[in-house]
Amino acid sequence: MLHVLNHPLLESKMAILRDKNTSTKDFKEIVDEIAMLVTYEITRSLETKKIYVDTPFETTECKTLATEVLIVPILRAGLGMVDGIRRIIPNAKVGHIGLYRNEKTLEPVQYYFKLPPVNENTTVLLVDPMLATGNSANKGIELIKSKGVKKIIYVGLVGCPQGVKALQDKNPDVEVYLVDLDRELNEIGYILPGLGDCGDRLFGTK
């Protein structure tokens, strides 16, 4: 299922990210803030379990997360959202998937894949800010599923109809969270209107 998180705070922050004049420093800070806000929404669907807590007056029933959360950014741009998510879920572990895009075919090529131990109870937040062709997302999902993970939530900033369709056609069981759904993909695989190359803008490489 696709969730597009229309929210006044997120929209205002996205306006700053999209602005080509936003500095690398401000871009990263805003991505951190958005990642925190988005995490609040994503975690709404996580399962909880009962625990008993002693307050200063009596023992009471409370709830705590029943699932282990594993954040898996797709390198490089996915790294930009990890700090914000970890601030909200400090116990989350982090795995990494390294993919680069073959510029001719736009197909992802894997160069790194490492996850901490996972089990059937693990919830993976697969993080990639731009859901463009959907090829990297699908490759990431395939790798994570190959380790036996049953629950995967895709977390991104901007998507386009083509990327969402590609992901949902192949992986209908994966929940997709985006801040904005943009108009289209251009012929070289960038989202329009978009925010440019997210990795370059995060790391100042262009």
C-alpha to C-alpha distance for 11 and 17, rounded to whole angstroms: 10
Q: Is 132 in the site for ligand URA (CB under 6 A)?
A: yes
Pairing of strands 68-75, 96-101: parallel
Helix (H) or strand (E) segment spanning residue 178: strand 175-178
Q: Which of 38, 85, 89, 198 binds ligand URA (CB under 6 A)?
A: 198
194 lies in the site for ligand URA, by CB under 6 A:
yes
Does 179 participate in binding ligand URA (rule CB under 6 A)? no
* 3 state SS of 96: strand
Angle between helices 24-42 and 8-18 (to 10 degrees): 150
Tell me whether residue 44 is one of the annotated catalytic residues.
Answer: no
Both tokens of 22, joined, read 């936003």
Catalytic residue among 24, 48, 60, 105: 105
| 113 counts as binding ligand URA under rule CB under 6 A | no
Binding span for ligand URA by CB under 6 A among 6-14, 40-48, 115-123, 196-204: 196-204
- Residues annotated as catalytic are 101, 105, 197, 200
- Site for ligand URA, rule CB under 6 A: 77, 130, 132, 189-191, 194, 197-199
